[in-house]
Amino acid sequence: MVAEKTSKKLFSVTLRVWRQANAQSPGRFVDYPATDVNPDMSFLELLDVVNDGLTRKGDEPVAFAHDCREGICGTCSCTINGKPHGPGHGIATCQLYMRTFKDGDVIIVEPFRARAFPLVKDLVVDRSAFDKIQQAGGFISVRTGAAPDANSIPVPKADADLAMDAATCIGCGACVAACKNSSAMLFVAAKVSHLGLMPQGQPERDRRVLAMVRTMDDAGFGNCTNQYECSAACPKLISHDFIARMNRDYLAASVKSAFQPVSLGGGGAG
Amino acid sequence: MAKLDSRIPSGPLADKWRKHKTDIKLVNPANKRKYEVIVVGAGLAGSSAAATLAELGYRVKCFVFHDSPRRAHSIAAQGGINAAKNYQNDGDSVHRLFYDTIKGGDYRAREANVHRLAEVSVNIIDQCAAQGVPFAREYGGLLANRSFGGAQVSRTFYARGQTGQQLLLGAYSALSRMVGAGGVELHTHSEMLDLVLVDGHAKGVIIRNLLTGEVTRHAADAVILATGGYGNVFNLSTYARQSNATAIWRAYKRGACFANPCYTQIHPTCIPVSGDYQSKLTLMSESLRNDGRIWVPKKKEDRLKAPGDIPEADRDYFLERIYPSFGNLCPRDVASRAAKRMCDEGRGVGESGLGVYLDFSDAIKRLGENGVRERYGNLFDIYHEITAESAYQQPMRIFPAVHYTMGGLWVDYNLMSNIPGLFVLGEANFSDHGANRLGASALMQGLADGYFVIPYTIGDYLAGQKPGSRPAADRAEFRQAEENVTGMTKRLLGIKGKEPVSHFHKRLGKLMWEYCGMARTKAGLETALQKIPELREEFWASVNVPGSAATLNQSLEQAGRVADFIELGELMCRDALTREESCGGHFREEHQYEDGECKRDDQNFAHAAAWEYQGEGKTPLRNVEPLNYEFTKMSVRSYK
């Protein structure tokens, strides 16, 4: 595909990147100057260019997580100038464009840091704890083929819309990286709220919130102290109100479970 | 020569699937747990298959190269999913969805497969709604629909502009439930690098762990590939950066036939390329064509003017002009080529001249800015992020880009390839979309294959395999395949050339776009068939893959994938050269009507071409599966 000719003014920045071979080795910042930066380039495209330069010199390129590059898969996960996903609002790292920066800027690039996200290499961390939380209860137990006609379960539009607001979570972990306690409350609350707002999600509502919260705690995430950094860093701007909703669900489920035990085991699977 | 038996059931079209389900063999519930099934890939097709097979009692191992199944690129599908529910009371039916899909595919898909797809489409919506997928709703609480290209009814279900995300998260939740319950053993960061055949049957895979570099052997009673399409052969596409063809390509090299590799979909509404550094192209959902109007200036000299300064009388709404009955909602291949013709005439907009306008001013007048925001807000936001322009204030600039591949591994009606025991689902197979896929049909196919087809058809194969007959992974076939994998890794790391992998990928992409893109010619394809082998040689002589095989090494991952893309690109060109006709996404300039529309040759090309690997450096063999149209009349596809 032919590139458009550009009339844009090119500029230079320095990337100060966290390099760490693995979780056992010490890490450090290394400076990489970048020239001819086009303001229409994405930040990750600049990292691509820097990496190609390193490769040509025979050095190892910077490892970073990325995939869809359109803000939906949740793979990319850089902390840029101290903020998860960087200085933009409501975007993932891959949606950050160089026009955000100016000539001469030093841009500090780090991985998402949290105890429950162990470092893999350079800017890549292990977020498998999120999958474990999901496996504990982030579902509605419905066997394939057992579903009634879709329109037999009407869902009030307001509930469906609010459920969708929560369901837009991309599972990137910025909420955890932004939180001083490394809490995963926003991530868990989004899933609990999405399913809890739907009529289909009611039968397992108590079990779900208890199981997911327990797994979250076991994974080493911290608690919420209502700073709301999570919502501010969230690429989908998911509201911290969902945390309050989850707390209500959790409290109700805990009280109920004191009188009638709730099994937290698997979802009644085959 | 491969034996291609499509195993299409006899009888009336509408009864085939029902009849087949009662005719095929079953595995009794107590025996199911004795069978182990490998599922590679966890997008819509892979997750839904893995979850459903585990629910049935099979022991499932699921391998994904991502860090989580939720990252699969199904997540990026924006617009919606088709289903013949006829909730709108606008005349939809299973037969109409079938007919639209067959016609949309330019009569190059199997009737029986497509009819089955239309039949199970209604079950998919039920299943997803029951899982809690937050579909868009009317105020009464019932499901809402929108329209998509190639259809005159409103049958597309959606969740804002993130339908793929919500459906994938639904399938991921079903998969997660089965992982939690112990029915599925999930392996993340695990890339399949070879298929293992024992006595001609697919009985295992070789996996490289992308974090540790460890290579392991896995034996099973059957192998399912649900690894997506191969559009990244073009380098620039709407695919995710990691999307690759390695699993299906390595299976091809083990004898699985690759059908219709030249059928690629170029999507009309993507954000134009801005520079050489570009890593991917971003789609603007087809749903935008519900309310957006596509135009270029009538006069060439207006093309660099601000769009607002071009009066209504000087605008050419070319899709509405050329295709009055479908207008802006004509199918993707038709819309893309029309846009290309406008640009070829010198009327394309933007500095490069490679763009057309997608204008929402009428919709904003009709619905108000908030009405438009409600429907498409996230897409307008994405557009703004990338271009720094507001589509509320000025039209979007769009241009076609590679988006989907209709070709893939050949499968029979049971979704089994010509290698017994190897099943292929979703975009990775070739079966349902013919030469062009209609919008909102990819999600439908992925979930149909995974939730509603494979759970039945895999039993037909497994019932013929003795429980417990699964070969041990220490057999020579496994050892040989593992050596094949480690040998290739060693070779890539040992070249120590000058250029990064991306250098070769970009060059391959440019060759493919120029010679095997929206318009193809004999001369161009012959040029490509000369240049691609040269590029391949250069790659193996001068690529630089730094680092070691024993850690996370993204250059190494990418090198293996690009090596495969180069070979696959060659096969695509060969297929495009051989198919001396135009159909759907395959447009040969030599074969067109005076108005520039596709000229099919049903006499000679009403078939699927299934290519069979013959060994390195040898020309692959072209097998043919004739397509018989018993229930529809093959006609010239018209959207006028």
In this predicted structure, the answer to whether residue B205 has a pLDDT above a threshold of 90 is yes
Q: Do B131 and A127 touch (CB under 8 A)?
A: no
pLDDT for the residue numbered B471: 97
Rounded-to-integer distance, Cα B195 and Cα B251, Å: 6
Chain B touched by A22 (CB under 8 Å): yes
Q: Do B272 and A97 touch (CB under 8 A)?
A: no
Whether B111 and B252 share a structural domain: yes
pLDDT tens digits, one per residue of A21-75: 999 999 999 999 999 999 999 999 999 999 999 999 999 999 999 999 999 999 9
Chains A–B, number of C-beta pairs less than 8 Å apart? 278
In a domain, B607, yes or no: no
In the stretch 215-234 of chain B, residues with CB closer than 8 A to chain A read 234
When scoring A9, A62, A69, A70 by the number of chain B Cβ atoms within 10 A, the one with the most, hence best to mutate, is A70
In a domain, B18, yes or no: yes
Q: Is B476 exposed, middle or buried (0-12, 13-18, 19+ CB in 10 A)?
A: exposed
How many angstroms separate the Cα of B496 from the Cα of each of A55, B140, B485, B548, B563? 10, 64, 19, 12, 15
In this predicted structure, the answer to whether residue B118 has a pLDDT above a threshold of 70 is yes
Q: Is B610 exposed, middle or buried (0-12, 13-18, 19+ CB in 10 A)?
A: buried
Predicted model pTM? 0.97
Whether B117 and B231 share a structural domain: yes
Q: Do B386 and A63 touch (CB under 8 A)?
A: no
Tell me which of A94-108, B88-102, B181-195, B265-279 is least confident. Answer: B265-279
In this predicted structure, the answer to whether residue A3 has a pLDDT above a threshold of 60 is no
Nearest to B268 by CA among B343, B322, B325, B162: B343
In a domain, B559, yes or no: yes
Query: Rounded mean pLDDT of A251-260?
Result: 93
Query: Rounded mean pLDDT of B391-399?
Result: 96
Q: Which residue of B has its CA nearest to A198?
A: B132
Q: How many domains does the structure of chain B reveal?
A: 3
pLDDT for the residue numbered B275: 85
pLDDT for the residue numbered A59: 95
The helix or strand, by DSSP H or E, that contains position B404, with its residue range, turns out to be: strand B396-405
In this predicted structure, the answer to whether residue B25 has a pLDDT above a threshold of 50 is yes
Whether B271 and B388 share a structural domain: yes
pLDDT for the residue numbered A6: 60
Chain A touched by B616 (CB under 8 Å): no
Q: Chain centroid to CA B71: how far?
A: 16
Q: Do B354 and A71 touch (CB under 8 A)?
A: no
Could you give all domains of chain A from N- to C-terminal order, each with its CATH number?
11-121 (3.10.20.30), 128-141+151-259 (1.10.1060.10)
Residue where a domain stops, chosen among B462, B496, B512: B462
Whether B431 and B539 share a structural domain: no
pLDDT for the residue numbered A261: 80
Residue B122 three-state SS? helix
Confidence band (pLDDT; 50, 70, 90) for B394?
very high
Whether B292 and B415 share a structural domain: no
Q: Do A55 and B544 touch (CB under 8 A)?
A: yes
Confidence band (pLDDT; 50, 70, 90) for B485?
very high
Q: Which residue of A has its CA nearest to B48?
A: A144
In a domain, B533, yes or no: yes
Tokens of B35: 């069978």
Residue B351 identity (one-letter amino acid): E
Residue A42 identity (one-letter amino acid): S
Rounded-to-integer distance, Cα B507 and Cα B536, Å: 11
CATH of the domain at B78: 3.50.50.60
In this predicted structure, the answer to whether residue A76 has a pLDDT above a threshold of 60 is yes
Cα-atom radius of gyration of chain B, to the nearest Å? Answer: 24
Tokens 């945390």 label which residue? A243
Confidence band (pLDDT; 50, 70, 90) for B351?
confident
Rounded-to-integer distance, Cα B562 and Cα B64, Å: 19
Write down the H helix ranges in A40-184.
43-56, 128-137, 157-167, 174-178
In a domain, B241, yes or no: yes
Rounded-to-integer distance, Cα B91 and Cα B83, Å: 13
In this predicted structure, the answer to whether residue A142 has a pLDDT above a threshold of 60 is yes
Give me chain B's average pLDDT, please: 96
pLDDT for the residue numbered A4: 47
Whether B51 and B194 share a structural domain: yes
Whether B288 and B307 share a structural domain: yes
Rounded-to-integer distance, Cα B557 and Cα B190, Å: 11
CATH of the domain at B534: 1.20.58.100
In this predicted structure, the answer to whether residue B410 has a pLDDT above a threshold of 60 is yes
Residue B609 three-state SS? strand
> Domain containing B367: what range?
267-403
pLDDT for the residue numbered B149: 83
Assign residue A90 a region (left: φ > 0; alpha: ψ between -120 and 50; beta: otherwise): left
In the stretch 69-98 of chain A, residues with CB closer than 8 A to chain B read 69-75, 88, 90-91, 95, 97
Confidence band (pLDDT; 50, 70, 90) for A266?
low
Tokens 């695509």 label which residue? B572
In a domain, B608, yes or no: no
Question: Closest partner residue to A270 among B54, B126, B169, by Cβ?
Answer: B54
Whether B374 and B256 share a structural domain: no
Q: Do A135 and B499 touch (CB under 8 A)?
A: no
Q: Would you say B397 and B272 are in contact if contact means Cβ atoms under 8 Å apart? A: yes
Confidence band (pLDDT; 50, 70, 90) for B495?
very high
CATH of the domain at B347: 3.90.700.10
Cα pseudo-dihedral B358, B360, B361, B364, rounded to 10: 180
Rounded-to-integer distance, Cα B55 and Cα B59, Å: 9
In this predicted structure, the answer to whether residue A1 has a pLDDT above a threshold of 70 is no
Whether B194 and B254 share a structural domain: yes
Tokens 């559009």 label which residue? B231
Q: Would you say A211 and A268 are in contact if contact means Cβ atoms under 8 Å apart? A: no
More confident residue, B207 or A264: B207
In a domain, B508, yes or no: yes
User: Which residue of the set B108, B116, B293, B332 is catalytic?
Assistant: B332
What are φ and ψ of residue B252, in 5° steps?
-60, -40
Whether B331 and B353 share a structural domain: yes
Q: Would you say B510 and B549 are in contact if contact means Cβ atoms under 8 Å apart? A: no
In the stretch 127-156 of chain A, residues with CB closer than 8 A to chain B read 127-128, 130-131, 134-151, 153-156
Query: Rounded mean pLDDT of A3-11?
Result: 71
Whether B246 and B314 share a structural domain: no
Residues of chain A with Cβ-Cβ distance to B510 below 8 Å are: 1
In a domain, B36, yes or no: yes
Tokens of B106: 């330019």
Residue where a domain stops, chosen among B462, B487, B503: B462
In this predicted structure, the answer to whether residue A107 has a pLDDT above a threshold of 50 is yes
pLDDT for the residue numbered A268: 43
Whether B497 and B416 share a structural domain: no
pLDDT tens digits, one per residue of B620-640: 999 999 999 999 999 988 888
pLDDT tens digits, one per residue of B125-179: 999 999 999 999 999 999 999 888 888 999 999 998 899 999 999 999 999 999 9
When scoring B35, B68, B128 by the number of chain A Cβ atoms within 10 A, the one with the most, hence best to mutate, is B68
In this predicted structure, the answer to whether residue B336 has a pLDDT above a threshold of 60 is yes
pLDDT tens digits, one per residue of B588-625: 999 999 988 899 999 999 999 999 999 999 999 999 99
Running DSSP on this structure, what letter comes out for residue A63? Answer: P
